[in-house]
Amino acid sequence: MPRSTLELRRLLHALPKVDLHRHLEGSLRLETLAEIAQEHGIDLPSYNIEQLRPYVQFTDEQPGFHRFLEKFKLLRRFYTTREAVRRVAYEAVVDAASDNVKYLELRFSPSALAHAQSFPLHEVTEWVIEAVAQAESETGVIARLLCAVVRHDSFDLARQVIEVALAYRDRGIVGVDLTGDEVHYPAAPFASLFKHAADHGLGITIHAGEAGGAENVREAVEVMHAQRIGHGIRSIEDSNVVQLLRQRGVTLEICPTSNLQTGVVDNFGLHPLRDLYVMGVNVTVNTDDPSVSDTSLTDEYMVAMMGLGVKLRDLRVCTRNSIRAAFLPPEDKQRLETLILSEFDAWL
């Protein structure tokens, strides 16, 4: 075992990692934002990175779910051109690769990327796919994409997003996600669309049990047929929901720092990841929004070990859970598991 925090950080950085829950829109480098803003004359409070930081990154402010989502409203203004969209998608994958993420599922909302310039959804999707493929071939990381429907989207917009995801499923789109405000917008109105996506081979993950309670996790599993839940940590509030997750083998995509910033947990000591793990739920560790939260997967592994009581051997189980829950064909998952766990074991 490493003797110091620095040694532990080095070890966790070097470990081969898997991130199933990372938003493209939460992965934009601050330097890139400042450059895009200046180049395109985006009206901002400042072009200076440090002065820009509090507008696009969660700093020392009071935790809060809606305060957290607020950052993404400003970020939507940066998707000004094809080059800007390509650049942020490319950099998101490169940044994951430099953190030794070996398999990444990057999710994006085509409607968010299209918003500023009313780009067609299929065009922004093409740009993301092209940029991610370029980053994959340059770094060796395996990256797949999920298309996100936002809960406050109209049914028609959601239908278009699902159609785009299906149209590009042989070019790296492997699943669909439902994101946004789970407190005010239920998932059920989109059930038929997600069923359609699942019937045509896409994986289903739903943000639930974060700002909302365990009943939203039940809805995600029973009504939306989610194989994975974004966060889902409030499942712990209902033992029947925990039982449901275990019975159906549903995987929770847990993002500890994000949970603290959104105010879902008051401190890491109260985070339920370890309890859910002990109860036999498939838990995984992920980033959510690296730039908004100023984090990396290495940071999240550090938090898991230093703050959440997770041991290195538990992180190995979490990594295996991630690989088994990846939206990949079984033979690809098997290959990935052999590769990553043997590399992981060489470090233990």
Residues noted as catalytic = 210
**212 or 230: CB nearest Zn ion:** 230
Residues whose CB is less than 8 angstroms from the CB of residue 346 and which lie 6 or more positions away in sequence, other chains included? none
Q: Which is nearer to Zn ion, 258 or 312 (CB)?
A: 258
Q: Which stretch binds Zn ion (CB under 5 A): 4-12, 38-46, 140-148, 286-294?
A: 286-294
CB of 33 to Zn ion, least distance (A): 20
- Letters for 211-230 (x = contact with Zn ion by CB under 5 A, - = none) are -------------------x
CB of 172 to Zn ion, least distance (A): 19
Helix (H, G, I), strand (E, B) or coil at 88: helix
Closest distance of CB 127 from Zn ion, Å: 21
Interaction of residue 19 with Zn ion, rule CB under 5 A: no
Q: Take residue 217 and report the two structure tokens written for it.
A: 């996790």
Q: Which residues contact 101 (CB under 8 A, 6 or more apart)?
A: 17, 18, 19, 141, 297
Give the whole-angstrom CA distance, residue 105 versus residue 121: 20
In terms of CB distance, is 19 or 288 closer to Zn ion?
A: 288
**Tokens representing 230?**
């974004």
User: Whole-number minimum distance, CB 112 to Zn ion, in Å?
Assistant: 13
Q: Are 234 and 209 in contact (CB under 8 A)?
A: yes
Q: Which is nearer to Zn ion, 219 or 288 (by Cβ)?
A: 288
Contact 253, 232 (CB under 8 A): yes
Q: Provide long-range contacts, Cβ within 8 A and 24+ apart, for 311-315.
A: 312/1, 312/348, 313/348, 314/274, 314/277, 315/15, 315/285
Nearest to Zn ion of 160, 293 (CB atom): 293
Stretch of 33-41, 73-81, 259-267, 288-296 lying at the interface with Zn ion (CB under 5 A): 288-296
Cα torsion for 161, 165, 167, 171, to the nearest 10°?
150
SS3 track for 282-296: EEEECCECHHHHCCC
Q: How far is the CB of 11 from Zn ion (least distance, A)?
A: 27
d(CA 132, CA 142): 10
CB of 182 to Zn ion, least distance (A): 11
| Residue whose CB is less far from Zn ion, 180 or 272 | 180
Across 23-47, b (16+ Cβ under 10 Å) vs e yields bbbbbbbeeebbbbbeeeebebeee
**Pair 185, 151: CB distance under 8 Å:** yes
- What is the Cα–Cα distance from 48 to 52, expressed in whole angstroms? 6
Size of the site for Zn ion (CB under 5 A): 2
Q: Is residue 288 a contact residue for Zn ion (CB under 5 A)?
A: yes
Does 182 participate in binding Zn ion (rule CB under 5 A)? Answer: no
| Positions in the binding site for Zn ion (CB under 5 A) | 230, 288
